[in-house]
Amino acid sequence: MFESAELGHKIDKETYKQTVPLLRADLLDVQYELKEQRKFPVIILVSGQDGAGKGETINILYEWMDPRYISTLAFSAPTDEERQRPFMWRYWRALPPKGRIGIFAGSWYSSPIHDRIEGGMTQAQMDQRIDQINRFEQMLVNEGALVLKFWFHLTKEGQKRRLKALEKDPRTAWRVTKWNWERLKTYDQLQEVAGHVLRMTNTPWAPWIIVEGEDDRYRSLTTGKIILEAIRKRLSDQDKQATPVAPPIQPNIDGRDVISELDLTKKLTKKEYEEQLAKWQGRLAELIRDPRFKQHSVICVFEGADAAGKGGAIRRVAAAMDARDYQIVPIAAPTEEERAQPYLWRFWRHIPRVGRVTIFDRSWYGRVLVERVEGFCAEADWLRAYSEINDFEHELAEAGAIVVKFWLQISKDEQLKRFKERENTEYKRFKITEEDWRNREKWDAYHQAVCDMVDRTSTGTAPWTLIEANDKAYARVKVLRTLCERIEAALEETPRPKEKKAKKGKKD
């Protein structure tokens, strides 16, 4: 895979001087057109061997282009905050918006390659991470991003020469440390591990570009021209780059589905409700204080028909916890900032650290519900969202999150009754809008969308719980009971932290 980058590519000084001015002008032109159109972001990954010119190349791009519309993100060992969240969290936060260029100096590839070389990751674990990365990059491309992945390559002898040359020059000597020379000893391991990673992630939607890194002029011109042509091509292509999205929706031939089979007559008496509410709220409070909970987080998703009682159920959950331990995130239409990013971006921003609870009042499922029904996204977008959402929730669960998802369902008659009650009650009028009445006219379309959502995204790690919500008391208790049972199940599999032994005092 690296053979073509071991041929001794070079560009003479005169050719370089003649080529650079036009290349710089063209790069600025496409950069400004990218900024004006704001149709897609450009994500550039810069990876490779030590001394292969990663830093110099980034500096050249800043020199040749307008730095106001470029951001560079450098990633080293994760911070304590980052370690308390899923692996991809810090990269999601760094994605550039549409119209801008984001350069990743070190990326989602750095950690698995390093961990594999150091023995902290097995081959199977690395392959699992590779699969996760491929899906992530596929999602970025389907969202319209242009992803360019550069690997700057050096032979072992070439790396020695580069490090010696950098060390000899007073202007660059600071860049070569004892650590770089130590790393040279792992060159063969890096070749083996990186070669495997590059082969497995060299996809049609995000291929690797391997550039020989020994000659500065060759490396700079090659990188600049590739970026120029890639952005030009993407700007002229009116259609999104796309990969196959999902199997088609299966027809329902007998009219039975997960929603139609719910028994909406279930209810509790006032006495039963008060007893059960106190029981499960008390149990939830205990579980959140359990020492084992510090190894987990809880992510609650509340979705449901309009007026199904999501707000009331959320308030009963929150009442059982210390306000410092949870956050409620209400989800409305995306802002301009959020529309400039992949649709899952705004939810990654609110992922809790371990030991805390985040409650989403509506969620990422808007993509396969309201956006699908109202035509706010293309069919290909909501079809592929099922697998993207499953991947997202799987990442959360892998990081210790307990993902609990509720769909609250009421009958069409009960909804009408509640709508009228809201209109006639002064302090409830804010809850009813023209949009609620419009959504009601599309009851059947939403019914089908909910059934498809449950069928495709109710997984072993993040199952849906369907709540019969015609009776608010029954719905609230079922929510609390389910939440407690899910947390209990997770804690049973979690070892208790070892108690620290008290130190014996010194004798006088």
Which CATH number characterizes residue 63's domain? 3.40.50.300
Instruction: Establish if 252 belongs to a structural domain.
Output: no
Vertex 28 angle, CA 24 and 30, to 5°? 120
- The more confidently predicted of residues 489 and 205 is 489
Instruction: Establish if 472 belongs to a structural domain.
Output: yes
- The more confidently predicted of residues 371 and 166 is 371
Instruction: Establish if 241 belongs to a structural domain.
Output: no
217 and 276 inside one domain: no
172 and 30 inside one domain: yes
342 and 218 inside one domain: no
Bridge partners (DSSP) of residue 44 are: 103, 148
- The more confidently predicted of residues 206 and 408 is 408
Contact 450/369 with Cβ under 8 angstroms?
A: yes
Residues in the chain: 508
In terms of residue numbers, what domain contains 467? Answer: 270-492
Boundary (domain end) residue, out of 236, 253, 281:
236
Instruction: Establish if 265 belongs to a structural domain.
Output: no
User: Average pLDDT of the chain?
Assistant: 90
pTM, two decimal places: 0.78
For 330, list phi and psi in degrees, rounded to 5.
Answer: -80, 135
Q: Which amino acid is at 472?
A: K
pLDDT beyond 50 at 444: yes
Look at 13-22, 54-63, 154-163, 171-180 and tell me which has the smallest mean pLDDT.
171-180
The pLDDT score that the predictor gives to residue 508 is 42
44 and 109 inside one domain: yes
275 and 205 inside one domain: no
pLDDT beyond 80 at 247: no
Please compute the mean of the pLDDT values over residues 146-166 and round it to a whole number: 87
Nearest to residue 447, comparing CAs of 232, 170, 255?
Answer: 255
Per-residue confidence band for 240, with pLDDT thresholds at 50, 70 and 90 = low
> What is the tally of structural domains in the chain?
2
Nearest to residue 101, comparing CAs of 204, 8, 30?
Answer: 30
The pLDDT score that the predictor gives to residue 380 is 87
pLDDT digits (tens, 9 = 90+) for 372-427: 999 999 998 999 899 899 999 999 999 999 999 999 999 999 999 998 888 877 76
Is residue 77 classed as helix, strand or coil in its secondary structure?
coil
356 and 399 inside one domain: yes
Q: For residue 106, what are the contacts with CB-CB under 8 A and spacing of at least 6?
A: 47, 74, 75, 76
315 and 383 inside one domain: yes
Instruction: Establish if 96 belongs to a structural domain.
Output: yes
Nearest to residue 486, comparing CAs of 302, 288, 272, 262?
Answer: 288
The pLDDT score that the predictor gives to residue 496 is 87
178 and 311 inside one domain: no
105 and 9 inside one domain: yes
H or E element at residue 149: strand 146-153
Per-residue confidence band for 507, with pLDDT thresholds at 50, 70 and 90 = very low
Q: For residue 451, what are the contacts with CB-CB under 8 A and spacing of at least 6?
A: 252, 257, 258, 259
Instruction: Establish if 246 belongs to a structural domain.
Output: no
Instruction: Establish if 243 belongs to a structural domain.
Output: no
Instruction: Establish if 42 belongs to a structural domain.
Output: yes
Nearest to residue 211, comparing CAs of 137, 148, 145, 141?
Answer: 148
228 and 296 inside one domain: no
The pLDDT score that the predictor gives to residue 504 is 58
The pLDDT score that the predictor gives to residue 245 is 57
Q: Which tokens in the block code for residue 8?
A: 């001794």
